[in-house]
Structure 1
């Protein structure tokens, strides 16, 4: 055996041409006179470079290829395919089972659970359909977001319970059917039957006669009998078939 001290050329040069660029992990530094036998060199070599030896992928490591929460189906399928290529002896059943376990909850996952693909060709067709559907949904959402017209802001300030007084309006009808009961009685009947919404209280008009009160407007200035708005409302109800039992005669 040739002693280590008599080796004039570095060992790496005697084995193969040295690489142009080397990383720290590719260099094995030996102290002078530290190698006495080839077994010692072989042991140091195997120990130093054992970590750089490529390891075979296993089905357990294949399960770590999981689809992220915000990851598109196309991106996940690309990662899944690359991981499958690195794994030897991978059967079709193992691919289908691992994909079903690593997909995030989605319509595509539900489809795989409901009807497992019978072949890899069927799986590719389904993947292509759902990728196209997912990308079209994303494009439509982006389009709607970019081109949605601005909606004017709605003032959510609560309105006052009192509305402004309105000017007296002229009668809506030229003729009114004769009634057998007062207007206040018809107002109560309409409210109990939910034919009209509950009246809101309005402010008194300027120079209102405080001796007169209207139950329909809940303010002063005129009486319930004189209220033209109430008369028009009751007349409309009667003409569509309500409160007709309170008529003196049917026209």
Structure 2
């Protein structure tokens, strides 16, 4: 086995008695190396241990590609913690995620037919990834992305000036949407149970309502069959280091990929709380979209999107 890459003074540092290793996740070369370093260094600083001990403990919290990299370093090539940090960052800087700004949120739009709840969820998934938020840009991006309708009208009737005010209004909007949805479902259920809507022929034959239900059931089965045919196993796909929604954003910025086919099945039968940014339609989430999975895989095999291929 190859010797550690540390100089003799680091290798000879005595570990303090009763010292226990902190409970930390290991790093395999994927994800932000600086984030791993911050967690690693912060945990060891609590114990007030020398830098040399921190260096010697460093490979314990590596695995996969990162561990192989560490043991490939030349013996006696690292003489300080700062040198180790510099080497580590230099090697895995390409794994650092692209930093987004609040202006990125201006690309987000609520889809036609997408529920308010789904749009808020998608917006927040992107919003939490922005380290230095510009409050006014975030508010403008959210309101600009709303489709014409009751929520857009209510927001602009009394425009929010702080994020706290915005999210309070958003919470009210989601609750209103949920109440209206439950009322519509209750009304539809009562209408279906109205005996005046059911007609019996008296000869054991189904009435118009029964026939309609049978046709609806057949269409529902057909929709499920059509959706099932396009399922894609993850084993067939190249592993990615980013969410598919982020890969899609880069595809559109660089005009990559084909126009997706329409989502099969009746639109009014799909879940409006699930929105696909690739199809710009409701029915499933972007990350679960089989058409997007195949299109990304196709582009990778053509030599594009290599920056999103996970390195094991």
User: TM-score under structure 1 normalisation?
Assistant: 0.43
The structure where helix makes up a greater share of residues is 2
Q: Higher relative contact order at CA 8 Å, sep ≥6: structure 1 or structure 2? A: 2
Asked which structure has the greater CA Rg, the reply is 1
